[in-house]
Amino acid sequence: MMRVLVITVALLAAGGAGAAMPALAQLAKGQPQLMVEGRVVSLQGNHVMLNDGTTMTIPRNVAHPTEIEQGDTVRLTYEVRNGKKIATSIQFMDRPRDGVPRR
Residues 69 and 84 in one domain: yes
Judge whether 99 lies within some domain.
Answer: no
**What's the pTM?**
0.63
Looking at the DSSP bridge assignments, the partners of residue 57 are: 47, 86
Task: Specify the pairing of strand 55-57 against strand 47-50.
Answer: antiparallel
Judge whether 100 lies within some domain.
Answer: no
| pLDDT reported for residue 2 | 47
Domain housing 42: 34-92
Residues in Cβ contact with 12 at an 8 Å cutoff, skipping those fewer than 6 apart: none
Per-residue b/e over 80-95, b at no fewer than 16 CB within 10 Å?
Answer: eeeeebbbbebebeee
Judge whether 73 lies within some domain.
Answer: yes
| pLDDT reported for residue 97 | 63
Cα-atom radius of gyration of the chain, to the nearest Å?
Answer: 22
Judge whether 101 lies within some domain.
Answer: no
pLDDT in tens, the chain (103 residues): 544 444 544 444 444 444 333 333 333 446 678 999 999 999 999 999 999 999 999 999 999 989 999 999 999 999 999 999 999 999 999 877 665 555 5
Residues 11 and 55 in one domain: no
